[in-house]
Chains A and B, each alone.
Chain A
């Protein structure tokens, strides 16, 4: 098991190197750079000398391979460089937002799992009855309604009915849990609804599949209580595919909540990403992509380990 874990962690290295190469060079294929945006954006009129000087300061005049080598050297020593726009270390820029994004993602996951598993289960068990139809309408709506729009409704609802708005400045949960939660619970709910819809549909279809399996018939033939047939015999098998979906969605939430963060005025990774791209802030973009790659790989690893814990057929050596 430990050997397997070690091997998986080692395998992260070639994957990340691949991501680094692709990101670095694809960014440079796009015309324009941060100096253009910074100095010539908004109709600024500066001489070519100034531009060249600024490029030299940021190291953008170096040959590509040289720039790439510098960056890779930095990565290896965990020196991710400074933001080309603000001049602050990239790590600082990201750390500031990662805490918030991570918390929203975790809360949304909790919301989603708490809603999705019971909902998907009863929907499958009461297949083609009114209960199932209600759940299916609820989940289809969850897929169809954009999270940011739902977020706006939530804010408007809070304002209209309670004459209250969530705080707009971020307070870490360890400083003031109440202030923190009263700000972040709303985006978590708005995002969690869609998330729950995806997972609930997966739970439903996979439970329907499992309930047709021969071993469910065996369990019934043994005289097992119907409740136990579902909880013990079916759920353990039906949850496996749902776990994959939960993991992928979680990884997506870390960097993917661009518009929702805007709506709730959250200073998260998604927003930082958009800003960095708009400004051609190469150093920041590269590091963010690397971060998300690490998140995806780690989540996948956790999903695989969960599989192994739940399914005895999967044993890693």
Chain B
């Protein structure tokens, strides 16, 4: 028996009578060409009937793998379960035959996946896909199944269900598809739903709608819910209990309030301190969990977090067990008592205010910028429609400042970035960069401007050429623009740049696939810095990264700004990240600017109803705050950009919308000093 047995029994005692699902001592391994990956090790937890359990952790921590193991959906050829039991309603799923297991899936346990865009079969109608489990598990007649499908669509808030049943997935938005997935999950009234990152691919207002729906339905129908997520805010808002995983192991378990208020494992504490907070003013630098998670081909002996832990002592080299630290609260840390009493080991050094020259001439001045795309035009006729991706946007960026540009997908924020980079040509409007109108810049002058404006992209993997070494990637602009005298000089400069972004110079020889996500993003930053730019467009630079890595990159960007006097346009959808890094924030919706204000004003007193809804929808990692908050997700969906509503584009979803809103297009006006709002109701 594995040394974890004690913890497993401790869990047993906790809630034996009502536990619906009990995972005991579960390990999952994958056979790969490079050896055995120990993806999950000796995992034990339980889920009570009707309860919401959140499993949090970063990518590769084993949270998805362990839930696929429960469903017995792991790839048969590579995955192996050397030990453990998964008791569902008293039956060990691991010893169940294939056919009884199939009969259980979709009937007793349903699963909802991360990617709503790819999780539905594109060639089968929504109706067929919802009715399928009804035919298989409940042997319904077509008429019964249809009636139930209509009922289910109504339950998940899809209007006009009769007609929608005939439609296909591509006719649904991402949020609507996730509702369909939930309807499929609910179809046979299961006892347990496992939702694997159910809202990660969705916008924040849609995320709130979906999670509130799931929470409400589970409570009403008495279904237990396991939510797998990396977002601590979601945990705080929706979970009864939480389980934190790191490198294949559970490191902390307990009631959500207790874990957030009094984390007893350094990793949990580090996670909570390394995320920017939407609900608190910026205090200083983010605490960061330095380093990377261990390679699960050969995990370290003893505590797997020790290498990154500020509380590390010699005893951490010993095997650590998940032990109770309080009532219904377990931690896999030998120093959990010290965490409870002593001062925090995580440093959050303060930072000096940076020199923003607010009174200086703006570095970037954008006036009435618009970008319209024509779509649907075809050979031999066919109508042409116009998407107004950006429509009448004006703003300035002061030297040394960070302007945050936030909004949900499709709001035009990335198009603004591309226009500033001259990757797109504006339909109308001016972009003035250091006194030069970008529209008229050609040839040599354009090359000159390009040097001074650089970009950091969202996806650090897709934006680096896989066939070039990092050194070549960083050196390329140096050589193209003849910024260095020789290849030797280029090498020296590459080493210097790598040092600036916190990488080692030997990494110049590495290819992008040999680096981690955070390291790749550092290479992307080094490449941008190579040109010695004055202005950098950061297009979602941290949204593809894990929480602990996000903090590292944000700190790096701030450091560089201070050291090199850079100016940023920081495009993001994560309001908390923007609150941390930006000096002023602009909010966009459907191609238009809704609000523009200094950071603290905007977060303290958002004036535009859309900004208010956005801030309301984003959960903060504090269960006390979250549970006190009334559920009021912003309803509706983003209108089609092909047919934007007349008047105020937000009027279709706005609680305060009146007839006037549907007629008058509001202009961005300065309603408070420095605080610009485009809403006729704000005075």
Contact = CB atoms under 8 A, between A and B. Distances in A.
Interface of A: 7, 10-11, 128, 213-215, 217-226, 228, 232-233, 236-237, 310-313, 317
B181 interface: yes
B381 A7 contact: yes
A169 B105 CA distance: 62
13 contacts: A7-B380, A11-B379, A215-B118, A217-B113, A219-B121, A221-B110, A221-B113, A222-B105, A223-B105, A225-B102, A232-B124, A313-B123, A313-B170
A219 B137 CA distance: 13
B406 to A, nearest CB: 29
Interface residues on B, range: 20 to 34
B381 A313 contact: no
Contacts, number: 83
- The 6 closest A-B CB pairs, nearest first, are A223-B106, A223-B105, A222-B106, A312-B168, A214-B118, A221-B111
Contacts of A213: 118
A224 B187 CA distance: 13
Contact of A312 (B77, B111, B123): B123
A225 B73 CA distance: 13
Instruction: Please indicate which of the listed interface residues B71, B123, B133, B137 has the most CB atoms of chain A within 10 Å of its own CB.
Output: B123
Nearest to A233: B121
Nearest to A218: B119
Given A214-B113, A223-B104, 14 more contacts: A214-B115, A214-B119, A218-B184, A221-B105, A222-B110, A222-B132, A223-B133, A225-B102, A233-B124, A236-B123, A237-B122, A237-B123, A311-B122, A313-B123
A218 B121 CA distance: 9
- Judged by DSSP, the binding face of B is loop
Contacts of A128: 77
A93 to B, nearest CB: 35
B117 to A, nearest CB: 9
B445 interface: no
Interface string B115-157: 1001111111100000011001100000000000000000000
Given A7-B381, A214-B113, A221 B106 contact: yes
Contact of A218 (B113, B170, B381): B113
Contacts of B168: 312-313
- Judged by DSSP, the binding face of A is helix
Contact of A223 (B115, B136, B380): B136
A233 to B, nearest CB: 5
B125 A312 contact: yes
A220 B122 contact: no
Nearest to B98: A226
B642 interface: no
Interface string B148-175: 0000000000000000000010100000
Contacts of B381: 7
A38 B276 CA distance: 88
B380 A11 contact: yes
Nearest to B120: A215
Nearest to A317: B382
A223 to B, nearest CB: 3
B136 A225 contact: yes
Instruction: Please indicate which of the listed interface residues B121, B125, B136, B184 has the most CB atoms of chain A within 10 Å of its own CB.
Output: B121
A222 B133 CA distance: 6
A160 B227 CA distance: 71
A233 B132 CA distance: 11
A317 B381 CA distance: 11
Contacts of A310: 123
B107 interface: yes
B337 interface: no
B119 A215 contact: yes
B377 to A, nearest CB: 13
B338 to A, nearest CB: 43
Nearest to A11: B380
